[in-house]
Structure formats: structure tokens, C-alpha cells
Structure 1
Amino acid sequence: MAKKSNGGWYVERDQENSYDRVRWLNLMISEPYYLFHLLVFFTYIPVRISAFQILSPARNSFLLKREIQVFVAYCVLTIVKIVRTESWESFIQDILLFAKIFLTAIALVLDYHLSLWYALAFLVIHIIAQQPPYEGLGSSNHLTPLQLESLLTEGNTSRFWLVEFRAFSTSACVCTSSFFPELSITYSNANLSFGTVDLGLFPNAAEKFGIPFGSLNQLPVYILFENATEVARFPGFDSEPYVFGPTITKKLLCGRFELDKRLLDYVNGK
């Protein structure tokens, strides 16, 4: 977005940031995944108050030192993640993980039964709730496998289709859910269109498009089609699962497809 002489850019930017903060506040309250975590975290307050009245002064002093150490470590890790993260979804996932580890550890200092209770509570949340993905679409379209096949074969739409195959049951797809909409806003034009196919809803489509759905660590997969023919894929067939290889980042995703000559020529209007 270009800077405007009347300061409009800054006003619009502030409105976007304000909207993001309100949206995340609403998610914290309305989404079970976030709400359950907050409720479990807040249970430490009455537990700590009760422990202060029961424990000896020396024990309370030792516990307070450990709490300060845990708080400082958590703040440092949070700052590092703020600097390095590329999406709010990834940032929230990481800081929640840190909070769960530190809370369970500090509960172990109090009583191992309390630590086991927190570990069990977080396990139950993991089973019954799922982190919500990014909700924006950008310039991409939600497609069924039949709709995608029809768009690719009709020949009266965009010459190029960049399609994301994902499944929100995997944390990698949730963390990268904002990358594709932002990419579509930047590069969408008359020759290039963007679409998404949810393999969680249509698992049979994985085999049709040559995606190893049995290895969920390989999702999301991005395929570039030219007139119904696949011309590029990321990650490739010979790529290692993400747990052993580099994770998908916004910069990596943009750079991978910008290097494809066909896509680059049409994006630049050549």
C-alpha cells in the first residue's frame, strides 16, 4: 500500500490493526480452543492463593523465585516469536505451547498431582478442540474437486490456476492459513487465479492429484496448473516431511513460485 500525502495510509493501517486486535479478542472469548485454555490458565490464581496460605514462608519464597524465572523466560520467548513469526496463527500456537509447558513445570514445584492435572486438562483440550485457522479468503476460491476439475478443463477461465491442497486437522495448515490469501491478493490477475481444496472434506481427491494424504506432514501442497496440466508443485514429490525439513514460510512460498518462468512472465504482463 502506497503512502498517501494526507495521512490516509496511516489511518487505514491503524484501522486494520484495531480490527485485528478486536477479531483476536472475540476469538479468545468465542472459540472453544482459546476459551478452554484461558480457563485452565486462570485456575492457577486460586491455586496459588491457597498455596500461599498453606505453605511455609521458605517454601513460598522458593516458589516465588521459580515463578519469576518462568515469567522472564516466557517473556523472552514471546518477544523472540513476535520478531520471527510470519502469522498470528503460528504465534498464538507457539505462545500457548510455551505457557502450557511452563505452567505444568511450575505446578510440579507445588505438587506433582497438580502438574498431572494440568497435563491431563491440556490433553483433553487437544482432543476436543482445534485451533481455528485464518478466516480470510483474499482473492482465492474454496473449490470442491469437481469444481476444480471443471475450471481446469473448460478453458474459458484463467490460463493459470494456483491451488492449495490443505487439511485444517494439521497444525501446519492452520499456521500457514493466512499465507495463501495474502499471496492471492498480491499476484491474482486475468491470467492467474487462486483456489483451495480442503482434503479434510474431500480425502479422495488426494490420490487424484498425486498428494500423499497418508503423510499429513506434507500438507499443505501447492500446485500450479496451466490449461489443466500441472507445471509446478511445492513441495515436490521428493521433499522430506516438514518435521525433518524446512517449514513453509511466506517468503519461501512467494519465492518458489516467482521463480517459475511461466508464472513470472504472466504476473509481469509479458
Structure 2
Amino acid sequence: MVNNQMNSDNQYYNPITLLNQMTSEPYYFFHFLVFFSYIPVRVSAYQVLSFTSSSHLLHREIQAFFAFSVLTVVKLVKEETWEGFIAETLFFAKIFLVGIASVIDYHLALWYMLAFLVIYISTQQPAYQGLGTSNQLTPLQLEALLTEGNTSRFWLVEFRASSLTTCVRTSRFIPELSITYANKNLSFGIVDLGLFPNVSEKFGISLGSNDKLPMYILFENAVEVTRFPEMDLHAKISNPSITKKLICQHFELDWHLLNYINGK
């Protein structure tokens, strides 16, 4: 199953497929347009600026390039998903582009800031599209699956809102975990609260608190066993960043898999 997961990811993220997907998504396409617009701007600036100003600009560009490269490598190592890595690199790229533009002219920097603001308002980063062996569920489907006796004993369900950055960054966790841990006793599902906001009240999920989404709930025969992040009204610190390792540990997925293998 692990090999199937790796092959699926390689197919989804081979360079040609990845490039086609990113250029077809408005969020990425408009970012590319803004970033590549710097090329004609730079050519024009070279013809207008004095030798001293051009040398100063080139020096700043080299500094920005090396700083961006270092940050990119760090994020590539630290980030657990491609969605998180892309979001972070785009964020730093915006900062460096605005900074370099301000060296040329502050009006240009303001124009780039406005362009990125329009992109932020009009588009959003797409979530991971794969499902693995998990199921995209409607509220009625979820209720039916939990109550019918011929389905899995356990259901691990992710409640997300695809409009939230935190949910986009973790959108591949359940699909990837389902490939490894799904069996006849444990199934995985996804419910998009952006499409079905009324479901949040039924399961005690606050849509007004971004740090509570995504929410993962484990059900056993239609009864909630535990959830992550856990509800703690007296917590004084924010919940830790969600990782696949934390999900595995909290819901004891390895234990469930061993029980299935041992026929329990």
C-alpha cells in the first residue's frame, strides 16, 4: 500500500502534470503573471536608471535571490505537504518582489501590493484533489454510513473548510493516511463545512474559530470516541500544528491496523 501511495504521488506530481495543474488554477496563474511581469519592468529599468542605481539594484537582487533560495530550502525540508510549501514560497516571493520593486520606484511596489491583494480577494489556493481510499461525504451520506451496521466499525472523519489556508495545507493528510491505514474495520471520510455549514453545530465545531479547523473525529458505531484538536475551553496556548504524526498518535492508527492484521 505504501508503494501505491508513492506511485500515486509521483504520477500526480510529475513536472508536466504539476505545471499543467498550476497554470490551470487561477490562484497560481495570476501569481505567475505578476511575478513574470518583473522581467519587462527590469528591462525598462535598466534602460532608465543610472549606472550607480543599476548596480545598487543588481546588488539587492542578488541578496534577495540568495535569501529566497535559503528560505525555500528550509521550507522544503520542514513543510510536510506540497500545499504548505507552495504557500510559504509564494509568501516569501511576494515580500522579496515588493522589496526589490521599492528599490526601483515605490509606485511600482504599491502596484505589486495591490495586485497581490486583488489575487488574495478573488482567488484561493486549491486543496489537494486526491482522495486515496477516503470518501468525500455529504451530511446524509455520513449519517447513513455511521448508522448502518454493515459499514466499518470505526470512521475517522475530517471536517474542513476548503476556503481556509490551514485546511488547504493539511488537505492531503486524510487521503494519504487512508491509503496506509484503511481496512474493513476503519474507514476515512471528509466533510466540507464550506459546503455544509449546518453540520458544524451538530458535531460541536466552531466555524468562527480558524484554529479549530480542520477537525478530526473518530466514531465507533456512530458514537464519537475522540477528536483532534480536542476541545479545551481553559487552554491558554494555541493548539500545536497538525501533522500526520500527531493524527496517527492521537487516534492510535497503528494500533487499529495491528488489530485488523491480527483479526481482532
1-structure distance, mates of 2:11, 2:234: 39
Among residues 227, 232, 244, which one is paired with 1:238 in the alignment?
232
8 Å Cα contact 1:232/1:260 also seen in 2: no
1-structure distance, mates of 2:65, 2:32: 17
Aligned equivalent of 1:72: 66
2-structure distance, mates of 1:221, 1:26: 31
RMSD of aligned alpha carbons: 2.4
Query: Structure 1 stretch 88-97 or stretch 18-27: which is displaced more?
Result: 18-27
Aligned-residue offset at 1:130? 1.0
Aligned-residue offset at 1:111? 0.9
Aligned equivalent of 1:166: 160
One-letter identity of the residue aligned with 1:246 = P
Runs (5+) with no aligned partner, structure 1: 4-8
Aligned equivalent of 1:49: 43
Among residues 176, 186, 199, which one is paired with 2:193 in the alignment?
199
Aligned equivalent of 1:139: 133
- Aligned residues: percent identity? 65
2-structure distance, mates of 1:72, 1:22: 27
Q: Deviations over 1:120-151 (max 9, x none)?
A: 00000011111111111011111111111111
The number of residues matched between the two structures is: 262
- 1:218 is aligned to 2:196: no
One-letter identity of the residue aligned with 1:164 = E
TM-score by length of 2: 0.92
Aligned equivalent of 2:10: 17
8 Å Cα contact 2:83/2:128 also seen in 1: yes
8 Å Cα contact 2:132/2:176 also seen in 1: yes
Aligned-residue offset at 1:261? 6.5
Aligned-residue offset at 1:202? 0.3
Aligned equivalent of 1:40: 34
Distance 1:117 1:230, change over 3 A: same
2-structure distance, mates of 1:204, 1:15: 34
1-structure distance, mates of 2:6, 2:160: 30
TM-score by length of 1: 0.90
Q: Secondary structure at the match of 2:216?
A: strand
8 Å Cα contact 1:192/1:267 also seen in 2: no
Distance 1:267 1:96, change over 3 A: farther
Distance 1:174 1:240, change over 3 A: farther
